[in-house]
Homo-oligomer: A and B are copies of this chain.
Amino acid sequence: MTSTPKYYTQKLRILASIADAKPGDPMPTERELASRFDTSRTTIRQALSELVHEGRIVRAHGRGTFVAQPPVIHVRSLTSLSEDLTGTTLDSVVLEVREIVVGAEVSGDSAARAEVAAGLELDSGSAVTRVERVRTSDGEALAHEVAHLPGTYPGLAGELASRGSLYATLRDAYDVVLASAEDEIGTGLADPDDSARLGIAVGQPLLLITRTARSGTGVPLEFTRSRFRGDRFRFLARS
C-alpha cells in the first residue's frame, strides 16, 4: 500500500479546520499554514490547490484565501427546454453578436469554424449568427458561452437585450422553436482566456458542454459551446 503523501494529510487538516466556516471567511495565509504545520510553503500550496480545484476555497491574488461559496445547480428541463435554476437566477451578459461564414479557409480559428459547420450540418460558406455571452449568477461569472445559429437574425442584439433569454427571443421574436437537444458533457481546464473572462485561476477544472438543438424535423438550429466553472456549477439532466 502506498503511504499517504504529506500534502494530502495537510489537505485533510485544512479541510477539517474550515468545516464550520462560512462562505467568504478568510483563511490563514500560506506562509502562516506552512509555519503552523511545520512544512514548506510548496507543500501547503499543493494541498490548497486541490481544495481550490474542488471548489472548497478561492484564492485572490494579493488579498488572501477564502472559504468558497456553495455551487449553483443548473436545471436543464426536457419538457420546456427552458433554462432554470434552483434558488438563484442565471443571467447573461452579451459580449458580441455578429455574422460569420463557416467552414471558410480563413486565418486563425478555421478549425473552430469547420466544427461549427459540422455541428449545424451546413456547407462551407454558409452564413451563421454567432452569439457570445457570459452567464452570471448574483453578478458572478459562471460560464462563457458561444452560440451559433444558422442564417441571419436581423436585430438579434437588441431583441436579446430586452428579453434576456436566447430561447425566449428565438421563439417570440423569430418564431424559431427548438424541439430536442443533445448535450455532450466533459471536463476541461481553464486557459488564460477563461481565467480572464471568468475570474478564476488558470488550470481550474471546467465543465465543458457542447449543445446541439434541433427543430421537430431534426434540423439543427443551435450549436453552442459552454465553459462552466467546475467549482461553482452542477448540471442537472432529466430524462
Interface residues of A (CB under 8 A from B): 2, 4-5, 8, 50, 53-54, 71, 73, 76-78, 81, 180-189, 192, 196, 202-203, 205-207, 230-231, 233-239
Contact = CB atoms under 8 A, between A and B. Distances in A.
* Copies of this subunit: 2
B184 A235 contact: yes
Q: Which of A202, A205, A206, A239 has the most chain B CB atoms inside 10 A of its CB?
A: A239
A180 B238 contact: yes
B239 A189 contact: no
A81 B207 CA distance: 24
Contact of A184 (B183, B184, B236): B236
Nearest to A190: B50
B237 A237 contact: yes
Given A203-B53, A205-B205, A181 B239 contact: yes
Contacts of A188: 54
Contacts of A4: 192
B184 A205 contact: no
Given A50-B189, A186-B233, 12 more contacts: A2-B196, A4-B192, A53-B205, A54-B188, A73-B184, A76-B239, A180-B239, A182-B236, A182-B238, A183-B239, A185-B234, A189-B205
Contacts of A189: 50, 53-54, 205
Given A192-B4, A202-B8, A237 B81 contact: no
B185 A239 contact: no
A195 to B, nearest CB: 8
Q: Which of A73, A189, A192, A234 has the most chain B CB atoms inside 10 A of its CB?
A: A189
Contacts of A180: 238-239
A236 B31 CA distance: 44
A235 B183 CA distance: 8
Contact of A50 (B2, B203, B238): B203
Contact of A230 (B5, B81, B186): B186
A235 B211 CA distance: 12
Contacts of A231: 187
A30 B230 CA distance: 29
